Amino acid sequence: MKLGFVGLGTMGGRIARRLLRAGHEVRGYNRTPAKAAWLVDEGLELCDSPRQVAEGSQVVFTMVTNTQALEQVVLGPDGVLAGLGPGQTLVDMSTVSPEGSRRIAENVRAKDARMLDAPVSGSVSTLEAGQLSVMVAGERSTFEAVKGILLDIGPSVDYVGENGKAVQMKIAINLSLAVQMVAFSEAVLVAEKGGISREDAVAVLLKSVIASPMLKYRGPFVLGLPEEAWFDVDMMQKDLLLALESGRRLDVPLPTTAMANEILTAARGMGLAAQDFAAVFEVLARMSGLTSRERQSV
């Protein structure tokens, strides 16, 4: 199919590459075109605006940082909505507020087009291994129409209800990522200050019953952060703030989420905002009185 992709960052660019390698024609837009130039060699056609992407695509994907960015690329004067027409579909893979997602879906329907919110669960390594999962919300018939394309992205595609419910599900998943990483960091530090090497502590913990799929690929980051953050502190804190807002709105107490959010605030205060959120380990290490090792890249 003729597809469009707006937001070709760390995850979006790699998803676009999977779509290209699955045989689709893909045109794309990124706010910083140079960061997406590598995709041209994969066959992507770079466009000058989100509107231009939409005008030549049957299905348009978006994957941007937050609700405000999504509103800009979709509802802006040269945005996706300006290029959408009857029969076209917008699939938003961003993690944004459920209310914001539903507002945009209403604008899309006003043009006789369709929208799904379809965030993903996984990381760079999960995506490159072909194991990404996708949760999808919107009209069931629209989901069925694009399900085959979503399966080109990852093998697990689940429909969860009407617009806004997929991003609600993603928020529920992501709050646990930060909480798990904080708890893992605490475990490593208790072992290390008890005389066990950091490397041995990480190895043993990742063979134990606590080793979730996320910890298996992110746990080693306490030994050295990646040069390119897979999911940085700022992005993770954005998701935790969405979770805390949901908790307040739905009367669900989120004490561990609130604690993890404060650790991320400390990370930002230490100048770690652009690092992978595994940097929570460094925050806790400093609080524990350990001299921070020279950061290595992995």
Q: Which amino acid is it at 254? A: L
* Residue 75 buriedness (CB in 10 A; 0-12 / 13-18 / 19+): middle
Q: Is residue 297 over pLDDT 50?
A: no
- Provide the angle, in degrees to the nearest 10, between the axes of the packed helices 98-109 and 165-193: 150
0.75 exceeded by the pTM?
Answer: yes
Distance of CA 176 to the CA centre of its chain: 14
Cβ pair 204, 156 in contact under 8 A: no
CATH architecture of 168-287: Orthogonal Bundle (1.10)
Question: What homologous superfamily is domain 2-161 in, according to CATH?
Answer: NAD(P)-binding Rossmann-like Domain (3.40.50.720)
Predicted local confidence at residue 294, as pLDDT: 43
Predicted local confidence at residue 296, as pLDDT: 41
The one catalytic residue among 35, 111, 165, 170:
170
Q: Where are the domains of the chain?
A: 2-161, 168-287
Burial code (b: 16+ CB inside 10 Å, e: under 16) for 100-120 equals bbbbbbebbeeeebbbbbbbb
Which tokens sit at 39? 């995709």
170 is catalytic: yes
pLDDT digits (tens, 9 = 90+) for 148-179: 999 999 999 999 999 999 999 999 999 999 99
